[in-house]
Amino acid sequence: MAKIQELIQKIKIGAVSYLNTKPLIYGFENGMMKEETEFIFDFPSNIAQQLLTNQIDVGLVPVAVLPTMKEYHLISDYCIGCDGAVASVCLFSDVPLQNIEKILLDYQSRTSVALLKILLKEHWKIAPELIVTEKGFEQNISGTTAGLVIGDRAFKQIPLFTFNYDLGLAWKDMTGLPFVFAAWVANKKMPADFLTSFNKATAEGMKHIDEIVARNKFDAYDLHQYYTRNITYLMDETKLKGLELFLQKLGKLAIMV
């Protein structure tokens, strides 16, 4: 007779393949829930699309996708957020903000692009031309053409440009609240026992930050600082308030565009 777990279809989970996800997927990579889950890795906007089209059941997705979902459930006490400078979501430029004429938009995350649009209008009060990009766009950041770069690639841009505007810090300056870039989201109601196990698995990496840093050699930035000072993983009450405010502003932005 086949084992019960062999008869149950595995829950498909999509996660982002950036350094900032390492603590969140540590438990899964070390065997937790391996019988119940199947992981798919991609960049944020692709994972979001897979969640929207039911190719996966759960995803670590950019929160800007939430208003487009017919049904969604935040299923973990952990997220990818910040309470000030995030270091890996930045606007890079050769010139000051007021002299920027064009901005190249990172194609990998709709949340960061939406956040940038909000900051341009409400915080920085400038209106440069915004340009959709493809892979390799970073090499075109020059002169009065700035670029929004996210994830691991952002660290490599830091020494290359005179001006670096951190979007997490700008949001904090504007609102006084932390920001949530990505959250664990299900597109359907999940069983209670799954939710308990999933939350335990996502929390496991928080106990092993030093080990995760040692496993992931990275010369462009201090990963211990990144994991303990830049990224804040707990989805607490203030994070939820920041998320709610962002979604409100996102709704107004959609109306204006």
**For residues 214 and 113, what is the distance between their CA atoms, to the nearest angstrom?**
32
**For residues 202 and 76, what is the distance between their CA atoms, to the nearest angstrom?**
7
Question: Per-residue pLDDT averaged across 237-241, rounded?
Answer: 97
Specify the CATH architecture of the domain 89-175.
3-Layer(aba) Sandwich (3.40)
For 4-81+178-256, give the CATH class. Answer: alpha beta
What pLDDT score was predicted for residue 3? 42
What pLDDT score was predicted for residue 5? 43
- What lies within 8 Å, CB to CB, of 190 at 6+ separation is 11, 57, 58, 73, 75, 198
Question: Per-residue pLDDT averaged across 129-158, rounded?
Answer: 94
pLDDT in tens, 48-87: 899 999 999 999 999 999 999 999 999 999 999 999 999 9
Please answer whether residues 81 and 179 qualify as being in contact, where contact means their C-beta atoms are separated by less than 8 angstroms.
yes
Domain ranges of the chain: 4-81+178-256, 89-175
**For residues 79 and 233, what is the distance between their CA atoms, to the nearest angstrom?**
5
Q: Out of 28-37, 41-50, 222-231, pick the least confident.
A: 41-50
Is the pLDDT score of 248 beyond 50? yes
| 246-253 contact pairs (CB < 8 A, 24+) | 246/63, 246/114, 246/115, 246/118, 246/171, 246/179, 246/180, 247/63, 247/66, 247/67, 249/118, 249/122, 250/64, 250/67, 250/114, 250/118, 251/67, 253/114, 253/117, 253/118, 253/121
Report residue 219: phi and psi, to 5°. -85, -20
Fold equal for 4-81+178-256 and 89-175: yes
Question: Per-residue pLDDT averaged across 157-164, rounded?
Answer: 95
pLDDT in tens, 181-227: 999 999 999 999 999 999 999 999 999 999 999 999 999 999 999 99
Is the pLDDT score of 256 beyond 80? no
- What lies within 8 Å, CB to CB, of 110 at 6+ separation is 44, 45, 48, 62, 64, 65
Write down the mean pLDDT value for the chain.
Answer: 92
